[in-house]
């Protein structure tokens, strides 16, 4: 398990961003200490956190990122591919995405 600080360092997301994404239902920690509220992340979550950081830097809307991560963990490659292609199209055309 990674502490929230370790996950922040390894993923490129800040501690406050990880807290925000937990609250937004995008990347929930694997375990939260009931007494302290401290968040812990499983080793399998690092790849998702790194992907989340890259997609945010690319300007993908949070609602779409939530779907990408859900598809990523369930291996729904069609959904992930469609969402990424749609965002890439928006970036290439320099138009505002209809979200």
Q: List pLDDT tens digits, range 24-55.
A: 999 999 999 999 999 999 999 999 999 999 99
Task: Identify the pLDDT of residue 13.
Answer: 97
DSSP letters of the chain? Answer: -EEHHHHHHHHT--HHHHHHHHHTTSS--SEE-TTT--EEE-TTHHHHHHHHHHHHHTT--HHHHHHHHHHHHHT-HHHHHHHHHHHHHHHHHT-----
- Quote the CA–CA distance of 71 and 53 in Å, as a whole number: 16
In a domain, 69, yes or no: yes
Contact 27, 21 (CB under 8 A): yes
Instruction: Identify the domain containing residue 80 by its residue range.
Output: 2-93
Number of domains in the chain: 1
Task: Identify the pLDDT of residue 91.
Answer: 73
In a domain, 63, yes or no: yes
In a domain, 98, yes or no: no
pTM, full prediction: 0.81
């Amino acid at each position: 398990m990674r502490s929230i600080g370790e996950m922040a360092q390894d993923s490129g997301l800040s501690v406050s961003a990880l807290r925000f994404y937990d609250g937004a239902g995008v990347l929930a920690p694997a375990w939260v200490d009931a007494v302290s509220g401290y968040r812990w992340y499983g080793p399998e979550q690092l790849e998702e956190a790194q992907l989340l950081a890259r997609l945010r830097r690319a300007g993908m809307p949070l609602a779409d990122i939530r779907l990408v991560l859900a598809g990523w963990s369930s291996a729904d490659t069609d959904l992930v591919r469609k969402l990424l292609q749609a965002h890439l199209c928006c970036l290439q055309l320099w138009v505002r995405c209809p979200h």
